[in-house]
């Protein structure tokens, strides 16, 4: 019987609600917090020898975890040292670096080009994985290189020309690979101008989104030519609730946890929105939420 890798920080029966922005989720049997690539390799060896299911978790900003918990191993990247290194107009940052921290550090250095991350919750790893962005653009426009580490025991550098995306999805990571860091090519600007834009973006976000309550941000992708929030509002679901979960009256593409929400409550509201919008407009909404499911090596 294989034993847990002694060098890797691991918590047993750790509540997932502490690590997801929804504040939903029961205990994970093993909760690994790798801090170096070698830790990921050791975790992979353990998973393979024990046939333990796993799930890779970043900042948990768009993940819906099961109330009953996860029977295998969750590999969480939150404790990778959040390094930010500058070289000219380039910045290299670890995946665990929070978007807000990265934006401010770059702004203070007079490096712009990351407006697409303004107001986007989560960390750089998630932003790279989902090709995060707003109406001002997408992060793939400034990525020069991505470093990936795999539970299979390998690491590799992926140049920008090999990064393949579709809307909110990546097509370049192999099974079991984790975004470890990314190098971004930015442009010189006046720090005061960048900071002013960030402040304005945060004001708009606070005014338009229910950020005071736990949520995963936007639940659905925007269909071509439409706003998901408007389709949901037009379907009469503004403020619709089940259990502790509610479709926000402030922004209908948010489902918020008002206290005690369960996974099934959120899934019920997701399906209700999809069904009602499809019936009224013929448009089938596609969720951005990632439901935690086991994988095997």
Contact 101, 82 (CB under 8 A): yes
Q: Which of 168, 246, 262, 274 is catalytic?
A: 168
Phi, psi torsion values for 268, nearest 5 degrees: -60, -45
* Length of the chain as a residue count: 297
**Beta-bridge mates of residue 123:** 98
In the residue annotation, 288 being an active-site residue is answered as yes
157-181: burial string, b at 16+ Cβ within 10 Å, e else: ebeeeebebeebebeebeebbbbbb
Q: Which of 218, 246, 262, 274 is catalytic?
A: 218
Q: Which of 14, 147, 177, 288 is catalytic?
A: 288
H or E element that contains 75: strand 70-76
Contact 56, 180 (CB under 8 A): no
Instruction: Give the distance, in angstroms, between the CA of residue 289 and the centroid of all CA atoms in the same chain.
Output: 9
List active site positions. Answer: 168, 218, 288
């Amino acid at each position: 019987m294989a034993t847990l890798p002694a060098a890797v920080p691991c918590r047993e029966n750790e509540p997932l609600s502490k690590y997801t922005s929804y504040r939903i989720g029961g205990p994970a049997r093993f909760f690994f917090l790798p801090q170096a690539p070698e830790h990921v390799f050791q975790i992979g060896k353990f998973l393979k020898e024990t046939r333990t299911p796993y799930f890779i978790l970043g900042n948990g900003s768009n993940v819906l975890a099961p109330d009953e918990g996860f029977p295998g191993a969750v590999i969480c990247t939150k404790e990778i040292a959040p390094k930010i290194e500058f070289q000219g107009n380039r910045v290299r940052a670890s995946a665990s670096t929070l978007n807000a921290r990265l934006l401010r550090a770059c702004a203070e250095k007079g490096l712009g080009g990351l407006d697409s991350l303004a107001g986007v919750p989560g960390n750089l790893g998630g932003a790279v994985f989902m090709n995060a962005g707003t109406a001002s653009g997408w992060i793939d426009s400034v990525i020069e290189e991505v470093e990936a580490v795999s539970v299979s025991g390998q690491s590799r550098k992926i140049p920008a020309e090999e990064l393949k995306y579709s809307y909110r999805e990546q097509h370049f990571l192999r099974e079991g690979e984790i975004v470890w860091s990314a190098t971004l090519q930015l442009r010189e600007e006046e720090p005061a101008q960048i900071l002013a834009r960030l402040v304005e973006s945060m004001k708009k976000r606070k005014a338009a989104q229910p950020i005071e309550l736990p949520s995963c941000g936007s639940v659905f992708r925007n269909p071509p030519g439409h706003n998901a929030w408007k389709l949901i509002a037009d379907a009469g679901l503004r403020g619709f609730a089940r259990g502790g979960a509610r479709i926000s009256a402030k922004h209908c593409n948010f489902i918020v946890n008002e206290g005690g929400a369960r996974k099934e409550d959120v899934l019920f509201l997701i399906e209700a929105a999809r069904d009602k919008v499809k019936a009224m407009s013929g448009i089938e909404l596609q969720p951005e939420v990632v439901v935690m499911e086991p994988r095997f090596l």
